[in-house]
Amino acid sequence: MRRRDFIGMGTLAAGSLAAGQTVELAQETMPSPPTPNRMQADLVVAGGGLGGVATALAALRNGLSVILTEETDWLGGQLTSQGVPPDEHPWIETHGAPRSYRALRQGIRDYYRHHYPLTDSARQDPLLNPGRGSVSRLCHEPAIAHAVIREMLAPWTSSLRLRILTEHLPVSAGMSGDRVLSLTVRHTRTHVESILTAPWFVDATELGDLLPLTGCEYVTGTESKAKTGERHAAEAADPKNHQAFTVCFAMDYCPGEDHVIEKPADYGYWRDYVPDLTPAWPGRLLHLHYSQPSTLKPKALGFHPEGVATGDNLNLWLYRRILDKSLFTPGTYKGDISLVNWPQNDYMNGNLIDVTRKEFQKHVDGAKQLSLSLLYWLQTEAPRPDGGKGWRGLRLRPDVMGTADGLAKYPYVRESRRIKAEFTVDERHCGKEQSGGKGAAFQDSVGIGYYHIDLHPSNRGVNYIDFPSVPFQIPLGALIPVRLQNLLPACKNIGTTHITNGCYRLHPVEWSIGEAVGCLVAFAQGKGLSPRDIRSDAVRLADFQGFIRSQGLETDWP
């Protein structure tokens, strides 16, 4: 029998059924399903995070038409619907990311200059950091990044070259042998389905959702040391071992006011919860301490919502502060706004990959309860320098997150399904110690990035894994699945290991991956080649690398 089937509804997360699960309805009460919409383009990109947006922009810039789908109603992923200010390397203002990524960053700064009542000195600062958070040189409100991304895409939506389908979830794929023929997506509220066809498909979803739908070979969790040769790999492989994920939220502080939320249903559980980790966590999760990631020794933290110094301890309020009221006309804001993505709301009680929809929702709801419990603890029980307890003026900001409950639209997930690729990046290529401090020089480099290898505590009891990396390259081989011909990854789902995902998953690297993939599709389409054809021929590869460099991508570190 010729393999021309529809694969779908397997063990995806939200919006899917468990493998083998059926829905039984009486025939006489089953309504007729609405007729699916049918759409066609040169490229279908599933996932509107940073990788998906960068893929779409690159493909559009090079003459292709694109359909871009996104599960939430915001584009931007980590930066917007997940609410996390960009984690970047120290050279980001001048190099180490594509020209288009720096245009996104400049657009965010310009948005504040054009629309916000900045002080004169803040407006004139070429390196404006609206939140002055310590984690990033560009801490800002999530909605601003969404607005700027929409502006960047506006010419293409206006010319009908780009169709954006927000609130759409992939549910099945039509296949013929090693090629994807179509992708069916379902609107998350109306349940109306659309069948999308194209010569090329890109998976930029946060969890690699297209991989099981298309039968693409992939791995999850941790590989064994014997398999990868990595110094920090586990002794035994564990496909279910995943980093904690976090449901972020934003809050401000109104001195003298009372904004204490209703006590969360699971507050008693989370108030007394002690993570079961090896090496051990230093006591209760809801406390001002954590395991220092690089040493795993107990380390105290501080908290003061008026920015007052907390001795030698990091003030968590300043860590991911996304709006510093002192940069704006006096009286504009009652207090700063801070984004909460802290050790205290990392959810370690389960994972979101290859589980049933019920299990997925259970863990997302659990993570939401943890975040709300953290807020309630901060409002009512957190120790204050004056000896009192709680900061009742802390106010949840649903408007900042664009949601009714004040929590992020989507969990901040740190790892995904990963394709089995033509080439897999491991610790020997980018770990500072194991690479000899130099890192690998990839002949097929299509991008660069840098971040230390940063793995958060896992759902299987492994504490932080955190150690230095070196500035690295993104090899084309890591973007090519071992079998499928016209499906490419553009997110955290490339050919890395569990360990190296820890430095290839951050904001500018994801954008770099996506832009390289968008250029790859356009180049391959124009030349009538496959990605494998391009990588396997030195002349074609050099031609492609020259093409992407001409478009502002960097393939080598200076």
Whether residue 252 lies inside any domain: the answer is yes
* pLDDT range class, residue 3, cuts 50, 70, 90: very low
**What's the rounded Cα separation, in Å, for the pair 509 and 413?**
15
**What's the rounded Cα separation, in Å, for the pair 371 and 378?**
11
Whether residue 109 lies inside any domain: the answer is yes
**What's the rounded Cα separation, in Å, for the pair 521 and 53?**
14
**What's the rounded Cα separation, in Å, for the pair 292 and 190?**
46
pLDDT for the residue numbered 29:
53
Does residue 414 contact residue 456 with C-beta atoms inside 8 Å?
yes
Whether residue 225 lies inside any domain: the answer is no
Residue 182, strand partner residues: 174, 197
- 207 and 249 assigned to the same domain: no
- 272 and 212 assigned to the same domain: no
Does residue 170 contact residue 210 with C-beta atoms inside 8 Å?
yes
pLDDT for the residue numbered 31:
62
**What's the rounded Cα separation, in Å, for the pair 377 and 269?**
12
Residue the block writes with tokens 């004169």:
120
What amino acid occupies position 541? L
- 291 and 347 assigned to the same domain: yes
Does residue 467 contact residue 294 with C-beta atoms inside 8 Å?
yes
- 286 and 198 assigned to the same domain: no
Handedness of CA 53, 59, 60, 65 (dihedral sign): negative
Based on its alpha-carbon atoms, the radius of gyration of the chain, rounded to whole angstroms, reads 23
pLDDT tens readout for residues 397-432: 999 999 999 999 999 999 999 999 999 999 999 999
Does residue 416 contact residue 218 with C-beta atoms inside 8 Å?
no
Q: Report strand pairing: 200-203 vs 66-70.
A: unpaired
Tell me which H or E stretch contains 358. helix 357-380
pLDDT tens readout for residues 257-277: 999 999 999 999 999 999 999
In this prediction, what percent of the chain has a pLDDT beyond 70? 94
pLDDT at 7 over 90: no
- For residues 373-386, give the mean pLDDT: 97
pLDDT at 304 over 90: yes
Does residue 256 contact residue 245 with C-beta atoms inside 8 Å?
no
- 46 and 173 assigned to the same domain: yes
- 57 and 185 assigned to the same domain: yes
Alpha helix segments (H runs only) across 6-134: 50-61, 99-115, 120-124
- 172 and 252 assigned to the same domain: no
Whether residue 96 lies inside any domain: the answer is yes
pLDDT at 351 over 60: yes
Domain span at 99: 39-216+415-550
Whether residue 443 lies inside any domain: the answer is yes
pLDDT for the residue numbered 36:
84
- 257 and 302 assigned to the same domain: yes
- 392 and 420 assigned to the same domain: no
pLDDT for the residue numbered 18:
35
Q: What's the pTM?
A: 0.94
Whether residue 256 lies inside any domain: the answer is yes
- 459 and 368 assigned to the same domain: no
Whether residue 444 lies inside any domain: the answer is yes
Number of domains in the chain: 2
CATH of the domain at 493: 3.50.50.60
pLDDT tens readout for residues 37-95: 999 999 999 999 999 999 999 999 999 999 999 999 999 999 999 999 999 999 999 99
Does residue 7 contact residue 176 with C-beta atoms inside 8 Å?
no
Q: Which of 366, 401, 436 is the last residue of a domain?
A: 401
pLDDT at 280 over 60: yes
- 211 and 249 assigned to the same domain: no
Does residue 80 contact residue 108 with C-beta atoms inside 8 Å?
no
Whether residue 4 lies inside any domain: the answer is no
Does residue 112 contact residue 118 with C-beta atoms inside 8 Å?
yes
- 424 and 467 assigned to the same domain: yes
Q: Which of 401, 433, 462 is the last residue of a domain?
A: 401
Q: Which of 346, 374, 401 is the last residue of a domain?
A: 401
- For residues 532-558, give the mean pLDDT: 98
pLDDT tens readout for residues 122-177: 999 999 999 999 999 999 999 999 999 999 999 999 999 999 999 999 999 999 99
Name the residue with higher pLDDT: 329 or 15: 329
pLDDT for the residue numbered 35:
80
**What's the rounded Cα separation, in Å, for the pair 554 and 97?**
7
**What's the rounded Cα separation, in Å, for the pair 248 and 271?**
18
pLDDT tens readout for residues 192-212: 999 999 999 999 999 999 999
**What's the rounded Cα separation, in Å, for the pair 555 and 291?**
36
pLDDT tens readout for residues 14-28: 333 333 333 333 344
Q: Report strand pairing: 249-253 vs 394-396.
A: antiparallel
pLDDT for the residue numbered 8:
43
Handedness of CA 145, 148, 153, 158 (dihedral sign): positive
pLDDT at 443 over 60: yes
